[in-house]
Amino acid sequence: MKLLTHNMLTSHVKGVTKGYPLLIKATEVKVSEEEFNPNFVSRMIPKLEWSALVQAADGLGHLQDLPTELIADYEANEDFLRKVHRVLLEVEVLEGCLQCPESGREFPITRGVPNMLLNEEEA
């Protein structure tokens, strides 16, 4: 599970109103290279919840020097875009779980795949 994906995932347990962002509890994390596309990154940034991204990266110990606040004029700042690229696409959680911040319900992550299926009572 990449952090870009995590940024879009939310808990949908019945009755939960504050199901985002999910807390990451990782037991295995991998960093792998992915081709850098500055256009992709700069257009993706407005679609992200920036603080959730920073929080997730930090929780995994992969924040490095990514700014906690979005900088102005990032479109032209390749250095910054590369940092965002790394955190969005290159850091992957392979094993662990995602936890609903409100209900505490845990969703396991296996082989990089979060299992978000709910039981009948939770749906």
The alpha-carbon radius of gyration of the chain (Å, integer) is 15
- Give the Cα separation of 95 and 45 in Å (integer): 26
Nearest residue (CB) to another protein, 48 versus 66: 48
Nearest residue (CB) to another protein, 34 versus 68: 34
Q: What is the Cβ-side half-sphere exposure of residue 106, based on CA atoms within 13 angstroms?
A: 9
Q: Least separation, in Å, of the C-beta of 19 and another protein?
A: 8
List residues near another protein by CB under 8 A.
Answer: 1-2, 4-5, 8-12, 20, 32-35, 37, 39-41, 43-44, 47, 49, 89-90, 107, 111-118, 123
